[in-house]
């Protein structure tokens, strides 16, 4: 059985990933594909518990290293439980964030550096690489405004507070933003950068084009 296709979506908080993943899943289903959709952190029972620990803004502050180790613990579980079995059975896997997030947020934002993150990736994830990464980078300002609104709505509706990361200062997000650009330049064959303040439809079209191209290449 031919191996499936591993697609990741990346971007700052509030970059519109969640909306685009829903659109992409519907687009794939129309074409007879039945994608496995998963998010990080989260996506397995263990991962959901790790996510709650990581994003709880009331919790004791975590050191950058602890944060990175938890991200990788979550990822190891998701790879073993969901991602590898799905790829081995020929399915398309769409993952909302993967190691590029750790490189951008912990490597860039928390200043642990890329090399340390990539070493952990080789060790913990067997260096599993996405076939295609869609990196959504609308302007820094608009991403942050959207992330803030979404958080306030979620907290008001559910009482769950996932504010921890989004309470970070502008400088932190600027470093994340710059690291994402660095990754896009370094891994230009894998990463499709979708920049600027485009409409939801325009972003979806670019995503659909990039995915079609990769699907054709493996068929």
Rounded distance between C-alpha atoms, residue 86 and residue 79, angstroms = 9
Work out the angle between the directed axes of helices 140-158 and 170-186 (0-180°, nearest 10). 120
Q: Which is nearer to ligand TMP, 38 or 193 (CB)?
A: 38
Residue ranges in contact with ligand TMP by CB under 6 A: 13, 39-41, 71, 97, 101-102, 105-106, 165
Please, where are the H alpha helices in the chain?
A: 17-30, 45-55, 64-78, 84-88, 99-102, 114-125, 140-158, 170-186, 200-218
Q: How many CA atoms lie within 13 A of 88 on its CB side?
A: 7
Min separation Cβ 85 and ligand TMP, Å = 20
Q: Which is nearer to ligand TMP, 4 or 16 (CB)?
A: 16
Min separation Cβ 168 and ligand TMP, Å = 8
Q: Which is nearer to ligand TMP, 105 or 180 (CB)?
A: 105
Compute how many other C-beta atoms are within 10 angstroms of the C-beta atom of residue 30. Answer: 8
Q: Which of 120, 132, 116 is nearest to 179 (CA)?
A: 116
3-state secondary structure of 139: coil
Q: Which is nearer to ligand TMP, 44 or 106 (CB)?
A: 106
Min separation Cβ 77 and ligand TMP, Å = 13
Rounded distance between C-alpha atoms, residue 141 and residue 8, angstroms = 23
- C-alpha distances in angstroms, 151 versus 31, 38, 128, 158, 163? 34, 20, 31, 10, 6
Q: Which is nearer to ligand TMP, 112 or 132 (CB)?
A: 112
Min separation Cβ 32 and ligand TMP, Å = 28
Min separation Cβ 108 and ligand TMP, Å = 10
Q: Which is nearer to ligand TMP, 80 or 218 (CB)?
A: 80
Min separation Cβ 189 and ligand TMP, Å = 22
Q: Which two tokens stand for residue 128?
A: 């599993």
Q: Which two tokens stand for residue 73?
A: 């613990």
């Amino acid at each position: 059985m031919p191996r499936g296709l591993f697609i990741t979506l990346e971007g700052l908080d509030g970059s519109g990933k969640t909306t685009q993943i829903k659109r992409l899943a519907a687009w794939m289903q129309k074409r007879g594909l039945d994608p496995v959709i998963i998010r990080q952190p989260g996506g397995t029972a263990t991962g959901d518990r790790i996510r709650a620990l990581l994003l709880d803004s009331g919790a004791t502050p975590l050191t950058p290293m602890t944060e990175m180790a938890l991200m990788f613990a979550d990822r190891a579980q998701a790879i073993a439980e969901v991602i590898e079995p799905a790829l081995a059975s020929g399915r398309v896997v769409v993952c909302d964030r993967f190691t590029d997030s750790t490189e951008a947020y912990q490597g860039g934002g928390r200043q642990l550096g890329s090399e340390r993150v990539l070493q952990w990736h080789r060790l913990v994830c067997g260096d599993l690489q996405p076939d295609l990464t869609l990196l959504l980078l609308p302007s820094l300002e608009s991403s942050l405004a959207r992330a803030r609104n979404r958080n306030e709505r979620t907290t008001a509706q559910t009482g769950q507070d996932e504010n921890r990361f989004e309470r970070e200062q502008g400088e932190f997000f600027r470093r994340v933003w710059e690291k994402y650009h660095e990754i896009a330049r370094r891994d230009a064959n894998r990463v499709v950068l979708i920049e600027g303040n485009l409409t939801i439809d325009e972003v979806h079209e670019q995503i659909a084009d990039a995915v079609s191209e990769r699907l054709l290449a493996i068929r």
